[in-house]
Amino acid sequence: MKVVPPAARVYIGCALLAAGACVLPALRPGAPWTTIALLAALYALCELPARCPLTSRALGGSVPLGTGSFFPVLLAAALLLPPAAAALTAVPGSLLARVEEPPAGPRRAWRAAAAALAVWAAAHAAGALGGPAALGHGRGAPDLPYALLPASAASLVLCLVLTALDGGIRATVGGLPARAAWRGQFGRALAPHAVHGLAGLMMAVLWRSAYGPVAGLFVLLPMYISCWVFAQYHREHAAHRATIRALVQAVDIKDRYTRGHSERVGHASVLIARELGMPEDRLDAVRFAGILHDVGKLGVPTRVLRKDGPLTPEERRVIELHPEYGHEIVRGIGFLGEARSAILHHHERMDGSGYPYGLRGEQIPEFARMVAVADAFDAMTSNRSYSRARPVPVAVAELERCAGAHFDPRMVGALVRALDRYGWRPAVTADETPPGGTPPGGTVPRAREASTPSSTPSGERP
């Protein structure tokens, strides 16, 4: 079990005391207990499926987790109830919410306190702008254009308070500097909270309509379905990332001299794509192409990959099969899309002298032309067992010299512009030769450079 740091204990204790002070007025006589009980029970019921193994398993493990999935209920409470009563509706569901990591008790207590404080502040913001009056009563028509203002204010305040409190807990638990703990939190949370605010407004309007609370429940169904779809999307992307990571780690273990090379090629490929104005929806495939371009090395004997001396013609032919091996490995991975053709063709050359099929010019897929430039650039600026790293300006000059014959001039130009704009920091791993030093074997192998045709700009193995 993880130990909660003393600073975090004090922070959580203060939040609990503040939440108790906010909720206390709701316990006095005259509180709208029917509405409080219905909204609190509804919020708690929304959190229960995530705790039930049967329902979680039936939904593929993708039940939306955490209070954020059901903020419309809390925002509806902020619009319908006085601040203290609205804060009270958040407590039971927060205490019942599923906890992924220990310690469960402090985590649940923190969630309940943070949610109560945020809803209390949101209700004050909505009330200050006439939120309850704008919703109408009974058969009275709500003032919908004006009601958007208190609903938006409630969403904004809820977002501000939650991100502020979460930043504090990140700083006290993780020991992060204050700026690092809060940086970017509000910007990432604002858009989802705005959507939840609209759903909360619809729920509150229907709740106050002639049809009563039952009508308000219909807002939750599409919200719950959308949250489930969103969770499925993230679950699928997490599986994609895990697949990519496993393949890259396998290549890095087998060919220690290229450790980190795959990620750098993926990064450089995205730089090229962005410079050319490629749509965002294709950038993931470009990155996957760069990261997995050498996955076919899993099919090449380790003794050939790690050989420090010159390659024999037979060994060279074996290494030149790695694009085809790679294509076979990833052929059944549907989410890679265009990346698969880049893995197969990233060693083709514009003049047709490349492999495996000797494609030329526009016959070479666009992604493959990007990866070819990124691959050669990183190979030239990284230390290998068979070649020393070159300075970035020297590598750029070599790419420009070979543009047209080996590389697509558009891709080379895009990389040069991106480097001018963002710079480049080549990483040297523990297995790479340090500048002016020697490789792990203790000697500087020069035979490999002689075994590589002088026209190959990267000076790397095929």
Give me the residue spans of the domains in the chain. 6-218, 237-451
The pLDDT, as a whole number, for residue 194 is 85
- Interatomic CA distance for residues 311 and 453, integer angstroms: 12
Query: How far apart are the C-alpha atoms of 56 and 66, rounded to whole Å?
Result: 14
pLDDT of 227 > 70? The answer is no
What is the predicted pLDDT for the residue at 113? Answer: 94
pLDDT tens for 45-82 read 877 655 444 444 444 444 444 444 578 889 999 999 99
Q: Tokens for 305?
A: 């990959």
pLDDT score recorded for residue 181:
78
> What pLDDT score was predicted for residue 343?
94
Q: How many CB atoms lie within 10 A of CB 23?
A: 24
Tokens 């050669």 correspond to: 376
- Euclidean distance between CA atoms 378 and 462, whole angstroms: 14
Q: Could you give the CA distance from residue 395 to residue 238 in angstroms, rounded to a whole number?
A: 35
By the 8 A CB rule, do 131 and 154 touch? Answer: yes
Per-residue model confidence as pLDDT tens digits over 376-401: 999 898 876 556 778 899 999 999 99
Helix-helix angle 392-402:366-380, to 10 degrees: 140
pLDDT digits (tens, 9 = 90+) for 10-45: 999 999 999 999 999 988 888 889 889 999 988 888
Higher-pLDDT residue of 392, 133: 392
The backbone torsions φ and ψ at residue 403, rounded to the nearest 5 degrees and listed phi first, read -65, 135
Contact predicate 336/288, CB 8 Å: yes
**How many CA atoms, within 13 angstroms, populate the side-chain half-sphere of residue 225?**
4
- Residue 386 CA to residue 390 CA, distance in Å, equals 13
Please give the Cα distance from 362 to 317 (Å, whole number).
Answer: 25
Which secondary structure element, helix H or strand E, spans residue 302, and what is its range? helix 302-305
- The arithmetic mean of pLDDT across residues 221-236, rounded, is 70
| 396-420: pLDDT as tens digits | 999 999 999 999 999 999 999 999 9
Q: Which residues contact 42 (CB under 8 A, 6 or more apart)?
A: 73, 217, 220
Mean residue pLDDT across the chain: 80
CATH fold, domain 237-451, is Hypothetical protein af1432 (1.10.3210)
Say if residues 92 and 40 touch (Cβ distance below 8 Å). yes
Residue 131: name the closest of 144, 117, 115 by CA: 144
- Comparing 242 with 347, the larger pLDDT belongs to 347
**Percent of the chain surpassing pLDDT 70:** 81
pTM over 0.85: no
